[in-house]
Structure 1
Amino acid sequence: MNAALLLNVEGVSRRRAGRAAVTDVSFSLNGGEVMGLLGINGAGKSTTLSMLSGALRPDQGRIHLAGDDFVAHPELARRLVGWLPENAPSWPELSVEEHLQAFARLRGATRQAARRAADAIIGRLQLGDLRRRLAGVLSQGQRQRLGLACALVHDPALVILDEPANALDPVQVGELRKLIRERAAAGAAVVLSTHVLAEVVAVCDRVAILHEGRLRHDAALGGNEGGAALEATFFAVATGAAA
């Protein structure tokens, strides 16, 4: 694992719709590390992920990415962050290949580099049979794979995945796990948010659990800690027993 500090979140808070969605959340993430971000609905996961991706600015606190102030330099998100939101957006009139080239260009790639990047991720995610297909006619699982490819096309240093296994079949879930491990082995930091605790046990090094907008648990996921132990920890935090 690359032990270099990549992401440092210091006391971030954010209000949404007149209420505190996230309050005083702090954690750090090294390159090569995979962190599972858990919480019941309304715990603040989506707001936290949106701030990490650069889509939302925190009302308070700081986020440093690769040593630079992420809030003061929002262009860092374009170059260094790959984000798969739970409902990945797409342009129905563009083909899979056109999508990927467009996303690469948005990340600063030249036209030629964007074509190379699109070809590489199409090969890695086995999207060759969908290359010319319009996004508007893709199945839900195919759209999910396209969203994942768009998040990874520029080889980001920080990968943020929100429910990435949605609509994937068991074989594709296995490929997703392998892909996450590959990105971590290459030095990227990965934040995985999911309701499927088995996915966290399978690929994560540590677990952070939000409850009522606050970080209530942040610890390494030990090799002997299986799904039952994680489920017990999650239940205790989610019910307030561990507060």
Structure 2
Amino acid sequence: MSESTENQGLIEIEGLTKRFGGFTAVDGVSFSVQRGEVVGFLGPNGAGKSTTMRMLAGFMLPSEGTARICGEDVVKRPVAAKRNLGFLPEGAPTYPEMSVADFLDFCARIRGFGGAERTRRVAEAMARTQLEGVRLQPIETLSKGFKRRVGLAQALLHSPPVLVLDEPTDGLDPNQKHEVRELIRAMAPEKAIIISTHILEEVAAVCTRAIVIARGRVLADATPAALVADGRSMEEVFRSLTLGAAA
């Protein structure tokens, strides 16, 4: 990590743009996230949230712009960047025929852990996401909510300073959502966290800051309290911003 990273942010995005033919999915997005911040990345379906997350995580090349994790460019130094990243993508984890324990053990080995350390990290990740009861089940037999928890466990097991979580509570019941939000709050002081979501209550529950995106462009970047300072609800602010972008 460079000496200036702490001042610049553990996550830095500058002019990030993604085009698919003549369609611009992400259009010049820029922001940074400091340690201790939990940023809600909000937008309607098709706003560009997941595309931005994939570029930040190094799973999709940008058409323009740069993204850095702990000072490491995700395109120029992808391995170094990903060492500092825990990423929960959309959808279920890969290798659905593997058991939960085997999948997490595989992820830990890929991360370079061995022996007792690998065993400890897998057990800790399962405990934090409450997966012990299904540890021997094939992932393909799990409910959507349990699959999301497996994905979250693999993102956490190497204790990264940066977490990028795409719809982390998707498919979870109310109690499970509460547990995941409590986990995020507990981890927040030592990490920079981005949560991509369309659930406005998620922002009020765990986020210190909210970025609203529509049609690939950032429309607002403020604390949740500042967004509703005029007495409107978060739903009203969100609707006003996104409908204005669509006009």
TM-score higher than 0.5: yes
Once residues 135 and 65 of structure 1 are traced to their aligned partners in structure 2, the CA distance between those partners, rounded to angstroms, is 30
Question: Are 1:201 and 2:204 an aligned pair?
Answer: yes
Residues 179 and 17 of structure 1, relative CA distance in 2, 3 Å threshold: farther
Q: Which moved more, 1:160-169 or 1:104-113?
A: 104-113
Once residues 145 and 45 of structure 1 are traced to their aligned partners in structure 2, the CA distance between those partners, rounded to angstroms, is 21
Match of 1:139 among 136, 139, 143: 143
Q: TM-score, normalised by structure 1?
A: 0.91
C-alpha deviations, 1:186-229, integer Å up to 9, x for none?
x1111111121001111001110111111111112228949953
Match of 1:216 among 205, 209, 219: 219
1:127 aligned partner: 131
1:93 aligned partner: 97
CA shift at 1:108, angstroms? 2.8
Unaligned runs of 5+ in 2: 1-5
Q: Is the 8 A contact 2:163 2:194 kept in 1?
A: yes
1:75-114 aligned at under 5 Å gives the runs 75-114=79-118
2:222 is aligned with what amino acid?
A
Residues 240 and 223 of structure 1, relative CA distance in 2, 3 Å threshold: closer
2:69 aligned partner: 65
Once residues 73 and 87 of structure 1 are traced to their aligned partners in structure 2, the CA distance between those partners, rounded to angstroms, is 26
Match of 2:19 among 15, 21, 29: 15
1:84 is aligned with what amino acid?
L
CA shift at 1:120, angstroms? 0.8
Once residues 88 and 112 of structure 1 are traced to their aligned partners in structure 2, the CA distance between those partners, rounded to angstroms, is 28
CA shift at 1:90, angstroms? 2.7
Q: Is the 8 A contact 1:88 1:144 kept in 2?
A: yes
Residues 192 and 206 of structure 1, relative CA distance in 2, 3 Å threshold: same
Once residues 34 and 13 of structure 1 are traced to their aligned partners in structure 2, the CA distance between those partners, rounded to angstroms, is 23
Residues 130 and 23 of structure 1, relative CA distance in 2, 3 Å threshold: same
CA shift at 1:77, angstroms? 4.1
Once residues 52 and 74 of structure 2 are traced to their aligned partners in structure 1, the CA distance between those partners, rounded to angstroms, is 14
Once residues 14 and 63 of structure 1 are traced to their aligned partners in structure 2, the CA distance between those partners, rounded to angstroms, is 12
CA shift at 1:98, angstroms? 0.8
SS at 2:30 equivalent: strand
Q: Is the 8 A contact 1:105 1:111 kept in 2?
A: no
Instruction: State the number of aligned residues.
Output: 241
Runs of 4+ in 1 over 6 A off after TM superposition: none
1:192 is aligned with what amino acid?
I
SS at 1:51 equivalent: helix
1:70 is aligned with what amino acid?
V
CA shift at 1:21, angstroms? 0.9
Unaligned runs of 5+ in 1: none
Q: Is the 8 A contact 2:8 2:32 kept in 1?
A: no
Q: TM-score, normalised by structure 2?
A: 0.90
Once residues 142 and 202 of structure 1 are traced to their aligned partners in structure 2, the CA distance between those partners, rounded to angstroms, is 21
Once residues 223 and 240 of structure 1 are traced to their aligned partners in structure 2, the CA distance between those partners, rounded to angstroms, is 19
Match of 1:192 among 189, 192, 195: 195
C-alpha deviations, 1:101-145, integer Å up to 9, x for none?
111222232354322210111122221111111112112221111
